[in-house]
Chain A
Amino acid sequence: MAGLRALVMPKMGLAMTEGMVAAWRKAPGEPVAAGEDVADIETSKITAGYESPATGSLRRQVVKPGVMVPVGTLIGVIDDGTADDAEIDAFIAARQAAFVPAAEAASVPAPVRVATEIGPVQVLEAGPQEAAPLVLIHGFGGDLNNWLFLQPLLAARFRTFAIDLPGHGGSTKTLPGGNFAALARAVAAFLRARGIGPAHLVGHSLGGAVALALAPQSLSLSLISPAGLGAEINMDYISGFIAARRAREMQAVLAMLFADPALIGRDMVEGVLRYKRLDGVAAALQAIAAANFANGRQNTSLRATLAAIRVPTLVVWGEADRIIPAAHADALPASVRVVRFPETGHMAQMERAADLARHILDIAGM
């Protein structure tokens, strides 16, 4: 059975305990290459592709689409072409007999609030204590859950800290200021409070600009659709995010983030609405928008900062980004590695988590 590989319900995000196959991308018997999507996996938050761990053919679809199963459940079998049906049946029977679902919530790491000089900052930590630190900084209106696919991949090699910026998630809703520099001071305050020295920084959108502002304290920079590299920004998104009150309005706004809006689940929309109802959030979002995007344009350019950076730097952009145009990745300094993902929107960390993780490991020298 050397050629048999099990496909199991993946754990997409630290809190995921169950999921379902939304659709099989490959028919039984169809060839599949390692890294190619073999199925779409749906959770209550989002739908994402499941990359085949091996090259071969999809011999069995063990789980039917639409059936909710625990993480780790055998959902399919891939074979390099050497096994017969009896071997595959035995393989499935053995896997299923041995499978024990993880005890619910037993090993789910929970975010904690860290006291800092700018107020409490919420952080979700994952990865080995002795590994190099890596800090994940979300964008406007986002939170640490934006990294739910990427963080587990990076946590295999780094001590990862996904933080909530001030005004966001479970962190203080009192801003130390709304511009990139003020938010960068908040991240620096968190790093001091936790005794973290130079770290690999991964920033998305607004968080990309914040990471860029922290470049002198970084080991490497990975910027995903970052703000600060051009004037254009989709104010329909920024204003719409601030204004939306009901699920359908918010769904329409969040749809702008993804190349395929069908990825957005009901729980993601409800989670954003719940965040927006917290005391202080409306004022914080308005202050950040006013400080950075007054008159519908980005008013701070960090291109000079980028040119002066000495650490390895990666800029990643989805070519179908509707929030900040991918053209902002043009004409960057030659020292910056630029990666463009086709058919990807503003959320490469969710839409292309596995590819992105490989690029981040590479730029960080891991």
Chain B
Amino acid sequence: MARKSFRQAVNEAISQEMARDPRVIVMGEDIAGGMGAPGEDDAWGGPLGVTKGLMPQFGRERVLDTPITESGFIGAAAGAALTGLRPIADLMFVDFMGVCFDQIFNQAAKFKYMFGGKARTPLVIRTMYGAGFRAASQHSQCLYPLFTHVPGLKVVIPSSPYEAKGLMIAAIRDDDPVIFFEHKMLYDVEDEVPDEPYTLPFGEANLTREGEDLTIVALGRMVTLANEAADRLGGQGISCTVIDPRTTSPLDIETILEEVRATGRLVVVDEASPRCNMATDISAQVAERAFEALRAPIRMVSPPHTPVPFSPALEDLYVPDVEKIIQAARTAMAAGGRKAA
């Protein structure tokens, strides 16, 4: 086993599945780079180099550079999935997803249901999300709540290199369309990642910390921040459970409810815009099903309801950070009654 970056972990997952299953193909803009033009092949490997090395290994037949027409190649990928391939389409930035909503929302998500359960759509759409990259409002959003909203899609948000490899292999082997969210700020994070293939289950939350006073639910890049907040709070006598749901569709609400019932207090950390995001969804489900267990109001840590600012100073203020999580935890601890004995 070796330390690998998040970028390497995703690349290794795709490479191992391509080697195992000839039906797995990769397609997207600049996914290899240089197609149709003189010059260096495999020059890009995707906008941030995640798919670099796949084209020389598996060839142009299976690693396809596409034109800049998301509506075209996402539709082609959905059709290829329906007819027997297992495509991994790279949509670069989730912010661009709008131009192919019909292909995703009305076609890929619905095939299984509209063809009487006989159709399978083993499609993975990889996409980058998240702020902190100084990439301004059209390249920094966290649009996973939109996809979580649509039945028929699975939505995966890995929080570390280890999680990314296991969840990507599970996504490729899944027979339903999966939207796979990669946070740009995680690509260079390193972690122990097994060389062998392995899978992580969808709909099964991971407890990264176990405590007694407070439950923190966090997604994607926010998991690392929540862990750091929990460690610092632990030093101050507040012991926290941290839950990484791994997937928002399916969502392991049962584990969240179980932990809230054990601790009586909940903080949800979500980098997505604050209206109709995962924090509001999880909070509503907990309020409906475990209200009696809550000792204090649920606290949500989300950015303000504004486009992601381009000014670095403002962007830093915009994104949830460890301090904000600690503040929310302290507020939750100060409010309400003591835990029932």
Complex-state Cα separation, A130 to B194, whole angstroms: 33
By beta carbon, the residue of chain A nearest B2 is A110
Q: Is B292 an interface residue (CB 8 A)?
A: no
In-complex Cβ contact of A170 among B1, B197, B200 (8 A): B1
Q: Is B96 an interface residue (CB 8 A)?
A: no
Complex-state Cα separation, A277 to B204, whole angstroms: 13
Complex-state Cα separation, A277 to B200, whole angstroms: 7
- Chain A interface residue count: which class? 10 to 19
Q: Is A25 an interface residue (CB 8 A)?
A: no
B204 neighbours in A (Cβ, 8 Å): 245-246
- Using an 8 Å CB-CB cutoff, how does the interface string of A145-184 with B read, 1 for contact, 0 for none? 0000000000000000000000000100100000000000
In-complex Cβ contact of A279 among B162, B198, B207 (8 A): B198
Most buried by B among A173, A246, A277: A277
Q: A245-B204, A246-B204, A247-B207 are in contact. Are A277 and B1 (CB under 8 A)?
A: no
Complex-state Cα separation, A246 to B243, whole angstroms: 13
Complex-state Cα separation, A356 to B224, whole angstroms: 41
Q: Is A45 an interface residue (CB 8 A)?
A: no
In-complex Cβ contact of A245 among B166, B201, B207 (8 A): B201
Q: Verify A278–B1 contact, CB threshold 8 A.
A: no
Q: Verify A278–B196 contact, CB threshold 8 A.
A: yes
Taking the closest CB of chain A, its distance from the CB of B260, in whole angstroms, is 16
Q: Is B199 an interface residue (CB 8 A)?
A: yes
By beta carbon, the residue of chain B nearest A280 is B196
Find residues 146-194 in chain B having any chain A CB closer than 8 Å to their own CB.
Answer: 162, 166, 194
Find residues 267-322 in chain A having any chain B CB closer than 8 Å to their own CB.
Answer: 274, 277-279
In-complex Cβ contact of B166 among A173, A246, A277 (8 A): A277
Taking the closest CB of chain A, its distance from the CB of B163, in whole angstroms, is 11
Q: Verify B207–A277 contact, CB threshold 8 A.
A: no
A170 neighbours in B (Cβ, 8 Å): 1, 196
Most buried by B among A173, A266, A274: A274
Taking the closest CB of chain A, its distance from the CB of B25, in whole angstroms, is 21
By beta carbon, the residue of chain A nearest B200 is A277
Taking the closest CB of chain B, its distance from the CB of A281, in whole angstroms, is 8
B196 neighbours in A (Cβ, 8 Å): 170, 173, 278-279
Complex-state Cα separation, A278 to B197, whole angstroms: 6
Q: Verify A278–B194 contact, CB threshold 8 A.
A: yes
How many residue pairs link A and B with beta carbons under 8 A? The number is 23
B194 neighbours in A (Cβ, 8 Å): 274, 278
Taking the closest CB of chain B, its distance from the CB of A20, in whole angstroms, is 15
By beta carbon, the residue of chain B nearest A246 is B204
Taking the closest CB of chain A, its distance from the CB of B110, in whole angstroms, is 31
Taking the closest CB of chain B, its distance from the CB of A261, in whole angstroms, is 16
By beta carbon, the residue of chain A nearest B192 is A274
- Using an 8 Å CB-CB cutoff, how does the interface string of B265-307 with A read, 1 for contact, 0 for none? 0000000000000000000000000000000000000000000
Taking the closest CB of chain B, its distance from the CB of A268, in whole angstroms, is 14
B162 neighbours in A (Cβ, 8 Å): 274
Complex-state Cα separation, A278 to B194, whole angstroms: 8
By beta carbon, the residue of chain B nearest A266 is B210
Complex-state Cα separation, A46 to B262, whole angstroms: 26
A247 neighbours in B (Cβ, 8 Å): 207
Complex-state Cα separation, A275 to B197, whole angstroms: 11
Complex-state Cα separation, A278 to B210, whole angstroms: 25
Complex-state Cα separation, A246 to B246, whole angstroms: 14
Complex-state Cα separation, A274 to B166, whole angstroms: 10
B166 neighbours in A (Cβ, 8 Å): 277
Find residues 245-260 in chain B having any chain A CB closer than 8 Å to their own CB.
Answer: none
- Using an 8 Å CB-CB cutoff, how does the interface string of B192-227 with A read, 1 for contact, 0 for none? 001011111100100100100000000000000000
- Using an 8 Å CB-CB cutoff, how does the interface string of A228-252 with B read, 1 for contact, 0 for none? 0000000000000000011100000
A246 neighbours in B (Cβ, 8 Å): 204
Find residues 1-52 in chain B having any chain A CB closer than 8 Å to their own CB.
Answer: 1
A277 neighbours in B (Cβ, 8 Å): 166, 198-200
Q: Verify B207–A278 contact, CB threshold 8 A.
A: no
Taking the closest CB of chain B, its distance from the CB of A136, in whole angstroms, is 20
Complex-state Cα separation, A156 to B204, whole angstroms: 45
Taking the closest CB of chain B, its distance from the CB of A344, in whole angstroms, is 28
Complex-state Cα separation, A246 to B210, whole angstroms: 13
Complex-state Cα separation, A266 to B194, whole angstroms: 18
Complex-state Cα separation, A247 to B198, whole angstroms: 17
B198 neighbours in A (Cβ, 8 Å): 274, 277-279
Complex-state Cα separation, A274 to B192, whole angstroms: 11
Complex-state Cα separation, A279 to B195, whole angstroms: 11
Complex-state Cα separation, A356 to B201, whole angstroms: 40
B197 neighbours in A (Cβ, 8 Å): 278-279
Taking the closest CB of chain A, its distance from the CB of B45, in whole angstroms, is 25
A278 neighbours in B (Cβ, 8 Å): 194, 196-198
Complex-state Cα separation, A279 to B197, whole angstroms: 6
Complex-state Cα separation, A266 to B204, whole angstroms: 18
A279 neighbours in B (Cβ, 8 Å): 196-199
Complex-state Cα separation, A293 to B88, whole angstroms: 42
A274 neighbours in B (Cβ, 8 Å): 162, 194, 198
Complex-state Cα separation, A7 to B61, whole angstroms: 64
Find residues 299-323 in chain B having any chain A CB closer than 8 Å to their own CB.
Answer: none
By beta carbon, the residue of chain B nearest A277 is B198
Complex-state Cα separation, A173 to B199, whole angstroms: 15
Taking the closest CB of chain A, its distance from the CB of B135, in whole angstroms, is 34
Taking the closest CB of chain B, its distance from the CB of A271, in whole angstroms, is 10
B207 neighbours in A (Cβ, 8 Å): 247
Taking the closest CB of chain B, its distance from the CB of A81, in whole angstroms, is 40
Complex-state Cα separation, A173 to B201, whole angstroms: 20
Taking the closest CB of chain B, its distance from the CB of A171, in whole angstroms, is 10
By beta carbon, the residue of chain B nearest A111 is B1
15 residue pairs bridging A and B, Cβ less than 8 Å apart? A170-B196, A173-B196, A246-B204, A247-B207, A266-B210, A274-B162, A277-B166, A277-B199, A277-B200, A278-B194, A278-B196, A278-B197, A279-B196, A279-B198, A279-B199
Interface residues of A (CB under 8 A from B): 170, 173, 245-247, 266, 274, 277-279
Q: A277-B199, A279-B199 are in contact. List 7 more A-B contacts (CB 8 A).
A: A170-B1, A245-B201, A247-B207, A274-B198, A277-B200, A278-B196, A278-B197
Query: Which 5 A-B pairs rank lowest in CB-CB distance, beginning with the nearest?
Result: A277-B198, A279-B197, A278-B198, A278-B196, A277-B199
